A = this chain, B = another copy of it.
C-alpha cells in the first residue's frame, strides 16, 4: 500500500533506531515534573532542549510565556508553550500537532524497578522503562524523528506542520486554553486539521484511533435542616434527617446496573447505528482487560460490546460521596445537619451540560417535593464539559486509518474514550477543525504509575505511523 517515498521513509526510521532511542533517552533524563515546585526548572530545561531540537531540524519555533502561578505557596513562572512551524507551502495541507513535555512525579522509592529518569531498555522484552517514555515524550519525539528522516533522505515533507507543545498538561494545562484562544487568528491560522499525540491503544496488541470523548456534568446536592449536628438518641425519630432525604433522592438517579433513571436523559443520546455497533464487536478488547484494570470481576455485563459501549458511547452516572456526613472510621451517633451529595454524569452526543442540567434539576426538585420534607434542598451544577465526537469519515481519519493499515497491517479500532482530554475540545471548538487522537503507546504503559514504559516496537512503528499518516494526509482530497 505504501508508495516509494513512504517505503524509503520507513526504512530510514529503522536505520535510525539507535539514534532515535538515544533522543528519547535524553528527553527522559530531564525530570520535567510540572506538579512539583522543586522540579519546575527542569520543565524549562525540557522546553529549551525541545526548542533546540526543533530548530535543529529546520523548524521556526518560540517559547510562549504563560505568566505565573502559585504552587505549594510559592509564586512560580509557568512553563512556556512551544509554538513551532515547519513549512508554509500554501499548496500543502497544514497539520497541527499537540503533545506535552512535562511528566508525572516519580521517585525510585515509589516502587520503580529502575531509576525513573533514566531510560532503561530490557532487550528481552523490548520495553523501555522511564518516566515520560510513553506519556508523552515518546510520542512528541516521534514527530521530530519523522522530520529528521525526511531531511536525511532529502525528501520533501508532504504537509506543513505546526507544533503546540505544552509543559503543564499533568498539572491542569494552566493557561493553555487562553493561549489557544489568543493565537486563534495568529499562529493557528491555516491549520487544516489537528493530530493529538497523547493517548493509548485500547489494549496491548491492536492499534486504535480515538474519535470521541465523553463530557461531564458534576453536581452538588445539598440538603440542610437543623442548625447544627444533632444527637441521634435525642433527635432520632423527631426531625426530618437530611441524610435520609439525600439517600432517598440519590438512590433514584441510577440503578445498580448503571441505568440512568432521570427522565429525558436517554432521549438525548444519539442512536446507535449498525455501523457503529460493529466497531465495538471487533475491537481488540476482552473483559479480562477491564477486570485486570479494576482488579475485580464487576463489569455490568458479560457482553464485551455492551461494556465497551458503556464506557464509550453511553452516558453514565456515578455517586462520588457526601460532604458533611460522618466519614471517619469508627462509630458516631450523629444526625448530620447539612450534607452535600456529589455525583456526576458522563455525557455523550447529543447531551450538553445545559440540557442535562435542566433535566437533573427538574427531576431532583420533583423527587424532593414528593418526600414532603421540611429540609431545604439546593442543587448546584459544578463544572460541565461537552462531549466531543469527530467525524471518522473525515480525510484526517482516512489518512490515519490508511497509515495504520500500512504500518500494522490491520484496520485500527475506532474508539471513543470515557474520560475527557480538555485540549481536544478546545482545539475542536476554537479552531473549528477536525481533531484526531493518534496513539503511540499501549494500554499497559502505566502512564501515571510506577515503571512507565514504551515498547521499542511502539516507538519505532509509531514513528513510522506518524510519517506515513502525513503522507496519506497529503494524498487525500
Contacts and interface: CB of A to CB of B under 8 A. Distances in A.
Interface string A36-72: 0000000000000000000000000000000000000
Nearest to A375: B298
A332 B342 CA distance: 8
A233 B298 contact: no
A328 to B, nearest CB: 7
A7 interface: no
Interface of A: 214, 216, 218, 220, 225-228, 230-241, 243-245, 247-248, 250-252, 254-258, 290, 293-300, 307, 310-311, 314-323, 325-329, 331-336, 342, 344, 346, 371-375, 382-383, 417-420
A321 B243 CA distance: 8
Contact of A344 (B232, B310, B321, B417): B232
Nearest to A421: B233
Given A239-B299, A320-B336, A342 B331 contact: yes
B336 A239 contact: no
Contacts of A375: 298
A145 to B, nearest CB: 30
B419 A296 contact: no
Given A239-B300, A296-B374, 4 more contacts: A231-B419, A298-B375, A320-B331, A321-B332
Given A244-B319, A329-B323, A419 B258 contact: no
Contacts of A318: 232, 236, 241, 243-244, 333-335
Given A227-B295, A296-B225, A325-B321, A372 B238 contact: no
Given A230-B294, A333-B216, A342-B332, A321 B311 contact: no
A37 to B, nearest CB: 21
A216 B334 CA distance: 13
Nearest to A419: B233
B320 A238 contact: no
A241 B319 contact: yes
A257 B255 CA distance: 24
A316 B232 contact: yes
Contacts of A248: 251, 255-256
B336 A327 contact: no
B311 A235 contact: yes
25 contacts: A225-B294, A225-B296, A226-B298, A227-B295, A228-B294, A232-B318, A232-B320, A232-B344, A234-B418, A235-B311, A237-B346, A238-B310, A239-B294, A241-B256, A251-B251, A297-B374, A318-B333, A318-B334, A320-B326, A320-B332, A321-B334, A323-B326, A323-B329, A327-B327, A331-B382
A235 B294 contact: yes
A236 B327 contact: no
A233 B320 contact: no
A333 B214 CA distance: 13
Contacts of A315: 237
Nearest to A312: B237
Query: Which 6 A-B residue pairs are closest in the complex by CB-CB distance?
Result: A227-B295, A233-B419, A321-B326, A237-B316, A236-B316, A321-B325
Contacts of A328: 323
A243 to B, nearest CB: 4
A386 to B, nearest CB: 14
A220 to B, nearest CB: 8
